Amino acid sequence: MAGSIDPLREQFEAFKALPRDTPIQMLNLIRLRDTAAYPEEHPDHGKNLSGLEAYRAYGRSSGPIFRRVGGKQVWAGRPEAVVTGPAGEKWDLAFIAEYPSAAAFLAMVTDPEYREHVKHRQAAVLDSRLIRLEPLNPGATFGE
């Protein structure tokens, strides 16, 4: 079964239909390939890079664009065990990226330079989840 690497058209349209002028956070759950799967025409094809190496190349190359639109990473962690959820579910990386607005995120992902850099991500990722979050001020207890 193929993993989720890029959004489906319907998912992207639903994202674009939400407010674009408010801050957002994006929860990223990433499962990496053992070996990056670059297409033949990519300069890194055949270099036997690991998924982690390819994902780090994505971070390094797209980082300036991410920062230019006002993005910042506000939380990162390495998942250790699924406590509630499918027993076989495994993630290698988890992080939350924050953007000043959904419009800033859209500006990043539609930037022609970014669209070249995202090829590292596509080569690196076996499966992923990207979940838009509305930032809230945490309450004293869960659910507040």
Residue 7 is predicted with a pLDDT of 82
Phi first, then psi: give them for residue 27, nearest 5 degrees: -80, 125
52-65 pLDDT, tens digit each: 999 999 999 999 99
Contact 57, 43 (CB under 8 A): no
Residue ranges of alpha helices (H) inside 8-143 are 9-17, 51-68, 102-110, 112-124
Over residues 2-36, the pLDDT tens digits come to 578 888 889 989 999 999 999 999 999 999 999 99
**Looking at the domain 22-133, which fold is it?**
Alpha-Beta Plaits (3.30.70)
Report the percent of the chain where pLDDT is more than 90: 84
Please enumerate in sequence order all residues whose Cβ is within 8 A of that of 97, keeping only pairs 6 or more positions apart, or say none: 25, 26, 28, 66, 71, 72, 73, 74
Give mean pLDDT, residues 92-101: 98
pTM: predicted TM-score of the whole model, two decimal places: 0.91
Share of the chain above pLDDT 70, in %: 99
Q: Hey, what amino acid is at 55?
A: Y
* Helix, strand, coil abundance in the chain, percent, nearest 5: 35, 25, 45
